[in-house]
């Protein structure tokens, strides 16, 4: 391997002819303000060219797409080796059966161990089965099915292993009556049946004798009730029980020549129809995940769930945190024959569990659904698998691997990165975390600003050289020369103005009482897996939303939440995507796309062609490019490789047909407008307050570099969260709102965090309450109140450690207290 990776004349996105030399076999950190060009250089230039060159050595099938893969806009790159990108994409598998265990392949090894060394038990009396010449037998001769002791039999992805009642899912969605009828005092006319409040076609379409419009259903329902002597205007609870049961569950409600269905069958029909398309989230608000009665959540058939290893079933084992699993396998005792058979599998399990622990995931369980992992967790799982591969001579490109990590866990992750480097690999890490930057062998800083004001190489060299360079903004923050100022005064809640969660005991919470002062900025801290999200999202948010008339899922076990009478609204702003496809963008999510389309439709050229606003939507036929359906890209399945997305050859990625692109607004086409960064768009649409208002808020929270038409599936979790926050901030609610945020600083440089903290403190100054789950201690130090959970993650967490001002928390001996002392001391 050459000693250096040389890049000359990089011009991808906002890069301005960047020239840079990177040392191989070192830990290189790319940093700089958000939108300065770090990812453009690391991923869109260096990794993209490595991927393109790798395809040249692959099969004929793969090479046929080389001509359609754009070569990065760079003069030359030398010293490039095989590269692996480890970014924050959530699990590629959309299967609801995909778990942490299957993604990491640890579960495959566990199945081998259970098949070889497990001890079957009777599914009737639970007695250990005795080996016979032909298999196994119950000592009491119960009529029980004898388990197949092969690894495939322990798979919940295969028909003969998975529970037939739930198909190997461990649970199923069921419509819940209390969610469908949240207020029995309402009448049908006033929306007693919550899913029927919004207009929607609930007819049994396959059985219609004539078409029925959704707005006619109210009339049909009124007719049905009137024929039975009842009215739409009386409270739901006063209707006869038999009639209520019909409206809830009937498969057929005949009204003249029309057939309607009850609300529960309607939800099931609509859910199944939209589930694959990802459009069932609204319907899921009326459903609950119910543990399967057949397997008790274990996913497997009873005869496999009755097999034990050292007295532990495979379902019990996969429910243990990874830290507890390591202890289990360290103390595993089997006879000598089994020990020899399973030794290799057990050693591999231990290695993989160790790697997962070292990247800060010791709190996860193997049965955790992969779809529930955050982007940071998914990335660290992939990183752990790479560490376990023991390969060398590779170039790893990582995107903020510390996202979602407490500083204590970050220290362990840095150790892992250094070990990966010491194996003979080169690591390029895009990162804002101060400890990771300080641990780098070489630092590249981009800037000086974001978007059009960025794209320049500000600094390249060692950490000590960066600290000594006055032009390095990042060096100033990491060295302590600069910093986010600590507020001169902490807010305190007025007596009685607080929300209190009582006896929260969901997941690993240990029956804790936690107080959240209203009218304050509250930070909830603790190591990864300590119970922060369980407390704030799955308990406080769900309870508050339901108490205020919403239809959130049922909160996790707790005794109640006091003080919600002083809250008018609760808004959760998390890191889930703002859309599941490229059709959702910042422009569509914030609502400004409607105003933009109207602006184009009002131009003289559009009026002459009779183009209405719908013509300028890439989601509607007429104006969009039909070759790609308005996506701008086409997906190429690569069989054993990740799918490749290429620009549409017809519209060249512009989403629209040529006729639509002939219309200009202030000299720009609709495609050119969607390519504008938010900063540029805010200036371009001066005089259009419906557009510039939301854009200014997006700019204020550090998203000025994001393109207004950027596909949602290319946004990080932190960017998606801040777009949601901007949409809420623009509404400027007058009522007391409780804002619940989840790691809002992910993807932000310290200078951008300072701006965001100003926005959040402005919200509190206007009379609202902000509660944020955070690992970033620059956030904790500027909070009015800090709640600290721990002391560790998983089974060793879930305890209430302390609550108070940042200074009071810094005086404790918790992990948060230790690191907060360092931050407050500068």
Cβ proximity of 697 and 591 under 8 Å: no
Whether the model clears a pTM of 0.85, i.e. scores above it, the answer is no
Cis peptide before 663 (omega within 30 of 0): no
Beta bridge partners of 560: 502
Task: Catalogue all structural domains in the chain, each as residue range(s) with its CATH number.
Answer: 4-90+374-479 (3.40.50.300), 100-170+293-358 (1.20.1580.10), 173-291 (1.10.8.280), 498-577+716-824 (3.40.50.300), 586-714 (1.20.1580.10)
* Residue 199: HSE in the Cβ half-sphere, 13 Å Cα cutoff: 6
* Residue 191: HSE in the Cβ half-sphere, 13 Å Cα cutoff: 9
Cβ proximity of 757 and 508 under 8 Å: no
pLDDT reported for residue 393: 92
pLDDT reported for residue 276: 44
Closest CA to 433 of 463, 403, 473: 403
Cis peptide before 207 (omega within 30 of 0): no
Q: How far apart are CA 247 and CA 193, in angstroms?
A: 9
Beta bridge partners of 524: 773, 787
Other CB atoms within 10 A of residue 95 CB:
14
pLDDT reported for residue 91: 45
Q: Which residues contact 180 (CB under 8 A, 6 or more apart)?
A: 193, 194, 195, 248, 263, 264, 267, 286
Q: How far apart are CA 758 and CA 32, in angstroms?
A: 20
Q: Residue 570: in which H helix or E strand, if any?
A: strand 569-573
Q: Residue 85: in which H helix or E strand, if any?
A: strand 83-86
B/e letters for 192-219, b = 16+ CB within 10 Å, e = fewer, are bbbbbeeeeebbbeeeeeeebeeeebee
Tokens of 104: 């990491």
Q: Which residues contact 389 (CB under 8 A, 6 or more apart)?
A: none
Q: Which residues contact 229 (CB under 8 A, 6 or more apart)?
A: none
pLDDT reported for residue 37: 92
Cβ proximity of 244 and 236 under 8 Å: yes
* Residue 292: HSE in the Cβ half-sphere, 13 Å Cα cutoff: 20
Q: Say which residue the tokens 């924050």 belong to.
A: 88
3-class secondary structure, 571: strand
Q: How far apart are CA 467 and CA 481, in angstroms?
A: 9
Give Cα 209 distance to the centre of its chain: 44
Q: How far apart are CA 459 and CA 477, in angstroms?
A: 14
Q: Supply angle C-alpha 48, 54, 59, rounded to 5.
A: 130
pLDDT reported for residue 642: 53
* Phi, psi values for residue 474, rounded to 5°: -65, -40
Q: How far apart are CA 577 and CA 789, in angstroms?
A: 27
Cβ proximity of 154 and 309 under 8 Å: no
Q: Supply angle C-alpha 535, 536, 538, rounded to 5.
A: 70
Instruction: Report DSSP state, residue 136.
Output: E
Q: What is the DSSP string of 619-631?
A: TSTTTB-TTTTT-
Give the Å distances, CA to CA, from 748 to 459, 668, 753: 19, 31, 6
Tokens of 761: 């403190």
Strands (E), 256-376: 258-260, 287-291, 308-309, 312-313
Strand arrangement of the beta sheet that strand 560-562 belongs to: 512-517, 498-504, 560-562
Q: What is the 3-state secondary structure (H, E, C) of 49-77?
A: HHHHHHHHCCCHHHHCCHHHCCCCCCCEE
Tokens of 583: 């059709």
Q: How far apart are CA 138 and CA 159, in angstroms?
A: 25
Q: How far apart are CA 758 and CA 701, in angstroms?
A: 9
Q: How far apart are CA 558 and CA 623, in angstroms?
A: 52
pLDDT along the chain (826 residues), means of 10: 93 95 97 91 94 75 60 95 78 70 94 94 89 79 75 88 90 81 83 62 36 59 88 90 91 82 82 54 72 91 93 95 94 92 95 90 91 79 79 92 88 90 95 96 95 92 96 94 92 92 96 97 94 95 91 88 95 77 84 94 95 92 90 68 72 94 96 93 93 91 88 77 81 81 89 90 92 95 97 91 97 96 89
- Give the CA radius of gyration of the chain: 29
pLDDT reported for residue 184: 85
- Terminal CA-CA length for the chain: 41
Q: How far apart are CA 514 and CA 535, in angstroms?
A: 9
Tokens of 609: 């062609």
pLDDT reported for residue 207: 34
> How do the residues of the chain divide into helix, strand and coil, expressed in percent and rounded to 5?
40, 20, 40
């Amino acid at each position: 391997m050459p000693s250096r990776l040389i890049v000359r004349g990089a011009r991808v996105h906002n890069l301005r002819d960047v020239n840079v030399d990177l040392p191989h076999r070192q830990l290189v950190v790319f940093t700089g303000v958000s939108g300065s060009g770090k990812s453009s250089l690391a991923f869109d230039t260096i990794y993209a060219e490595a991927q393109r060159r790798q395809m040249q050595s692959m099969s004929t099938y793969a090479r046929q797409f080389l001509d359609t893969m754009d070569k990065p806009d760079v003069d030359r790159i030398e010293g490039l080796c095989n590269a692996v990108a480890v970014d924050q994409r959530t699990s590629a598998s959309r299967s609801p059966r995909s778990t942490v265990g299957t993604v990491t392949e640890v579960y495959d090894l566990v199945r081998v161990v259970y098949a070889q060394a497990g001890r079957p038990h009777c599914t009737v009396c639970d007695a250990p089965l005795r080996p016979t010449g032909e298999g196994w037998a119950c000592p009491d001769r119960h009529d029980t099915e004898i388990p197949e002791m092969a690894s495939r039999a322990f798979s919940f992805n295969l028909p003969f292993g998975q529970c037939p009642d739930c198909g190997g899912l461990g649970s199923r969605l069921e419509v819940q009556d209390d969610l469908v009828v949240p207020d029995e005092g309402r009448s049908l006319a006033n929306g007693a049946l919550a899913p029927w409040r919004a207009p929607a076609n609930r007819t049994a379409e396959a059985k219609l004798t004539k078409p029925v419009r959704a707005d006619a259903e109210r009339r049909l329902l009124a007719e049905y009730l009137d024929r039975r002597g009842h009215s739409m205007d009386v409270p739901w609870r006063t209707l006869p029980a038999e009639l209520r049961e019909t409206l809830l569950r009937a498969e057929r409600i005949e009204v003249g020549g029309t057939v309607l269905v009850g609300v529960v069958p309607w939800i099931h029909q609509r859910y199944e129809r939209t589930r694959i398309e990802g459009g069932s989230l609204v319907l899921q608000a009326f459903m609950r995940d119910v543990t399967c009665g057949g397997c008790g959540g274990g996913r497997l058939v009873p005869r496999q769930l009755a097999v034990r290893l050292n007295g532990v079933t495979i379902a019990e084992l996969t429910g243990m945190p990874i830290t507890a699993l390591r202890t289990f396998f360290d103390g595993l005792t089997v006879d000598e024959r089994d020990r020899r058979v399973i030794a290799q599998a057990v050693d591999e399990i231990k290695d993989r569990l160790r790697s997962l622990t070292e990247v800060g995931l010791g709190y996860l369980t193997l049965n955790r659904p992969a779809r529930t992992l955050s982007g940071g967790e998914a990335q660290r799982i992939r990183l752990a698998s790479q560490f376990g591969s023991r390969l060398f001579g590779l170039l790893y490109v990582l995107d903020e691997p510390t996202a979602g990590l407490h500083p204590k866990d970050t220290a362990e992750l840095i150790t892992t990165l250094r070990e990966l480097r010491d194996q003979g690999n080169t690591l390029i890490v895009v990162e804002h975390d101060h400890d990771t930057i300080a641990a780098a062998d070489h630092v590249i800083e981009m800037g000086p600003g974001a978007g059009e004001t960025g794209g320049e190489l500000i600094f390249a060299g060692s950490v000590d050289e960066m600290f000594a360079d006055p032009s390095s903004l990042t060096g100033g923050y990491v060295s302590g020369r600069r910093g986010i100022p600590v507020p001169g005064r902490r807010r305190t809640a007025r007596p009685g103005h607080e929300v209190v969660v009582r006896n929260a005991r969901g997941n690993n919470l240990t029956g804790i009482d936690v107080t959240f002062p209203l009218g304050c900025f509250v930070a909830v801290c603790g190591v990864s897996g300590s119970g922060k999200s369980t407390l704030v999202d799955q308990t406080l948010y769900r309870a508050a939303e339901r108490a205020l008339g919403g239809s959130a899922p049922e909160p996790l076990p707790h005794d109640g939440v006091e003080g919600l009478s002083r809250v008018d609204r609760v808004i959760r702003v998390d890191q889930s995507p703002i859309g599941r496809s490229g059709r959702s963008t910042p422009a569509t999510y914030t609502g400004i796309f409607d105003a933009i389309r109207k602006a184009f439709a009002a131009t003289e050229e559009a009026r002459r062609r009779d183009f209405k606003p719908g013509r300028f939507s890439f989601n509607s036929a007429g104006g969009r490019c039909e070759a790609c359906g308005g996506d701008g890209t086409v997906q190429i399945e690569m069989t054993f490789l990740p799918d490749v997305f290429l620009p549409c050859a017809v519209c060249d990625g512009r989403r629209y047909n040529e006729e639509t692109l002939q219309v200009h607004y202030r000299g720009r086409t609709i495609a050119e407008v969607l390519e504008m960064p938010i900063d540029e768009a805010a200036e371009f649409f001066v005089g259009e307050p419906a557009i510039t208002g939301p854009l200014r808020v997006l700019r204020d929270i550090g998203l000025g570099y994001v393109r207004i038409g950027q596909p949602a599936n290319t946004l990080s979790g932190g960017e998606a969260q801040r777009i949601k926050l901007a949409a809420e901030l623009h509404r400027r609610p007058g009522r007391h709102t409780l804002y619940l945020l989840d790691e809002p600083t992910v993807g932000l440089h310290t200078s951008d965090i300072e701006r965001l903290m100003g926005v959040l403190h402005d919200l509190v100054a206007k009379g609202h309450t902000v509660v944020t789950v955070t690992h970033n201690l620059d956030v904790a130090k500027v909070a009015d109140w800090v709640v600290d959970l721990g002391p560790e993650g998983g089974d060793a967490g879930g305890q209430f450690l302390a609550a108070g001002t940042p200074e009071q928390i810094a005086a404790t001996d918790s992990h948060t207290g230790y690191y907060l002392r360092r931050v407050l001391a500068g």
